[in-house]
Structure 1
Amino acid sequence: MKRYKQILLVLMALALLITGCAQNNDNADQGTEPVGQADDQSEFKTVVDVLGREVEVKNEINSMVVTPVPYGSIIYAIDGTMEKIVAVNPDVKSEYEKSLLSTLAPEFADVSVDYVSTDFTVNVEALLNLKPDVVVLWHVQEDDIRKLEQVNIPAVALDQGGGSNLEKTRDNIEIIGKLLNKEQQAENLNQYNIDVEDYFTAKQDQIAENEKPKVLYIRDKNLAVAAGGSFNRQLIELTGGINVAAGVKGSWTGVSMEEVLNWNPEIIYLSNFDSFQPEDLYNNTIEGHDWSQIDAVKNKRVYKTPVGIIRWDAPCAETPLFMKWLGQIQQPELFNDYVLDEDIRNFYKEFLSYDLTEQELNKMLNR
């Protein structure tokens, strides 16, 4: 009997030993290294940029360098903050100081301009110390992209063609949404853009029946104008005007005063790339120019383009509002089924979570 008990104890010990070995083998199969790899994978995601590059970035982006000027404001419209932006093009900072972002995003005041030049070039060596999670730049910045890849700083390219094309701008916004895990916010912003474009597209037959005013969009006192390849030409024509500089090559292209006199525009828009005002044309105070014989000047139809969270001259989150503003100047009798002030207020409430004051709205619209 005693021997039987001893044999039974040995068998039980063997069973426990076999069970323990099996558990150890299972743990080995699911050991710390594979678990660690899974955790690492969850920290990253892949974003496909406009060049078709699959860029691995952190799942949670906390530091961004942004070279394209309008995209600081677009990031704010999508993310609701500019706290993730650590460096920008110096032109962004100058725009910020005269826009509503100085009120909405005071955190942006201390963002560095030391890592990006006004020509969009990135100081890659300096960025090694900054260690950003991602650099957002134009697709034509091939040298910067290559240098950033060499030092393992993620670079996500946006389409610079977004500067002349509504659809490409929306593609860029979609990429920003993916970077920030704010896909729905980006989709909502893009859908509003599409809805407004569709509104004007649906009225093209009616526009064709109306007399279209001759329009000139001027960038600066040197007479760089919105030419045939410009974003502004697309919007002018979509909203019922004729861009008199459509036959000029390029995007922003210099012309002569003689050409302006020959075109004799009925409406002139002055950009916010320059500080000039309608009164400068009305009072003929720009040296070397004579505006007195231009119909737009004689009829007091010179308009300064609005500034919201950024100047509306460039593709931005407020481009749909820009279209509505242009439409009511160029075809007021046709585009009279919306109230611009209300639409601007609603946009700021819905997309920027901000209630515009009357004073801010009047300042935006230069009245």
Structure 2
Amino acid sequence: MNSKLIAAALAATLCLSLTACGQTPASSGASASAGSSQAVESAASAKSGEPRTITDLGGHQVTVPAAADIRKIVILSPPVMSFVIGAVPDTEMIVGINARSFLTSNPQIVEKAFPNWQSVESSFVDVNFAVNTESLLALEPDIIFYYGDFQRKGIEGLAIPAVDFLMKGVNSPETMSVAWDGQIRELLSTDTSVGIQQEWDATNAKLDKLLAQVGDEKKTGLCIKLNQAGSLMVMGSDSFDGWAQSFFALGGIENAAASIEGTGEVSMEQIYQWDPDFIMCFQDAPASYILENSIEGQDWSLLSAWKNKQVFDVPRTTYAWVTPCADSPLFPLWLVSKAYPELVSDDEVRTEIREYYQRNYSLELTEGELDSILDYREATGI
């Protein structure tokens, strides 16, 4: 993978959304069954070599190859990568990918789950999702995975089946991740009797028991999306580029920034007024900078979260957990462990992650790899 491209992507990502980049914000209230109806017509035709007509998650009718004829995949949508590598028969089938897929992932875990990731072509798309058509066609993809009309603009008119992963009006991480997983498994004829829905069912059962022990006084949390050059962006109400509120709700936590529509810039004075019980950091300045109170122009020492050392980085595996990804069922349990440590210990979270990777990836994570998931930015300074 071109190192200059990755460097450019790292710089550009400071001001761009990693999920949709320019999509209309999603509203709430969509049915949890929204994704389940978007199914491939028949498994029989998937294996017969005959093309199939599907309705993708964006509501488009798309004619796609039989699963046996899908040998080369291009992925434009960064978080969708995490689902593909768990469902694809061989990651060598991924011939093109958006380099932004790796900007908030954990290279140690990506290397383990997607060993050929550094050799996959990425120069055909830049950090603004502008596609070089000639370079894309040279990859000879059988199918393209994208997210919404913004990403579709670069591939319209090409004689390549393109499948949309944007479900408009959905802000449930469970609904979205289950739909993405299901669409990929149907397209590739991967076993649909397993997958992320079973993991969500297990997580929800655990959460029911854990949160029954939480009283009326719920903890408040704040997710800082960006902290760069004195600008603080927080994740408020659910939107296309901020899922913190839905994840907080799953963990029995109130979003301190719920009054902010979507993702918005706030002042330190506003954060003082909210005084959240704990803070998690997504990009730019890591939690360690806040705990050291070393960011110029920002005094975090006045906050309860700082005084109680309740400032954390969002965990990273094949993608950052605050965006729907293939490891999303783990995130609410991690949140509970931070907001209500008396209910879930750090050791229990490590066990959950280890067993999850055994079940879903057939991978054995070392203690060092578990450390990298939970403390990656502290160790690297990223």
Interval containing the TM-score (normalised by the shorter chain): 0.7 to 0.9
Equivalent residue for 2:62?
55
Letter in 2 for 1:223: L
Out of 238, 248, 253, which is 1:236 matched to? 248
SS in 1 for 2:264: strand
Distance in 1 of aligned mates of 2:131 and 2:197: 28
Distance in 2 of aligned mates of 1:237 and 1:313: 13
Q: Are the equivalent residues in 2 in contact too, given 1:78–1:182 (CA < 8 A)?
A: yes
Distance in 1 of aligned mates of 2:147 and 2:237: 21
Equivalent residue for 1:87?
96
SS in 1 for 2:176: helix
Distance in 2 of aligned mates of 1:112 and 1:69: 14
CA shift digits 1:205-234 (9 cap, x unpaired): 543x24211211111213111111131111
Normalised to the residue count of structure 2, the TM-score between the two structures is 0.77
Out of 137, 140, 147, which is 1:131 matched to? 140
Distance in 2 of aligned mates of 1:339 and 1:206: 17
Instruction: Give the drift of 1:321.
Output: 1.0
Q: Which runs of 5+ in 1 are unaligned?
A: 1-37
SS in 2 for 1:242: strand
Deviates more, 1:122-131 or 1:301-310: 122-131
Compare CA radii of gyration and give the structure with the larger one.
1
Deviates more, 1:114-123 or 1:220-229: 114-123
Instruction: Give the drift of 1:257.
Output: 1.2
Deviates more, 1:112-121 or 1:156-165: 156-165
Q: What's the Cα RMSD here? A: 2.7
Distance in 2 of aligned mates of 1:239 and 1:46: 39
CA shift digits 1:175-225 (9 cap, x unpaired): 11112111426x422221233135425665543x24211211111213111
Distance in 2 of aligned mates of 1:63 and 1:39: 16
Instruction: Give the drift of 1:312.
Output: 1.4
SS in 2 for 1:339: helix
Residue 281 (str. 1) matches residue 290 (str. 2): yes
Map 1:1-367 → 2, pairs under 5 A:
42-59=49-66, 60=68, 61-79=70-88, 81-95=90-104, 98-141=107-150, 143-144=152-153, 147-148=155-156, 150-159=157-166, 164-166=171-173, 167-184=175-192, 187-201=194-208, 206-207=213-214, 209-221=215-227, 222-229=231-238, 230-250=242-262, 252-271=263-282, 273-274=283-284, 276-335=285-344, 339-366=348-375
Cα 1:352–1:204, aligned 2, differ >3 Å: closer, same or farther? same
Distance in 1 of aligned mates of 2:275 and 2:159: 54
Cα 1:257–1:232, aligned 2, differ >3 Å: closer, same or farther? same
Normalised to the residue count of structure 1, the TM-score between the two structures is 0.80
Letter in 1 for 2:153: D
Runs of 4+ residues deviating >6 angstroms: 38-41
Q: Are the equivalent residues in 2 in contact too, given 1:218–1:269 (CA < 8 A)?
A: yes
SS in 1 for 2:259: coil
Q: Which runs of 5+ in 2 are unaligned?
A: 1-44
Cα 1:224–1:160, aligned 2, differ >3 Å: closer, same or farther? farther
Q: Which has the higher contact order (CA 8 A, sep 6+)?
A: 2
- Share of identical aligned residues, percent? 28
Cα 1:72–1:162, aligned 2, differ >3 Å: closer, same or farther? farther
Instruction: Give the drift of 1:95.
Output: 4.2
Distance in 2 of aligned mates of 1:311 and 1:293: 28
Letter in 1 for 2:199: Y
Q: Are the equivalent residues in 2 in contact too, given 1:284–1:292 (CA < 8 A)?
A: yes
Number of positions where the alignment pairs a residue of Structure 1 with one of Structure 2: 323
Higher helix proportion: 1
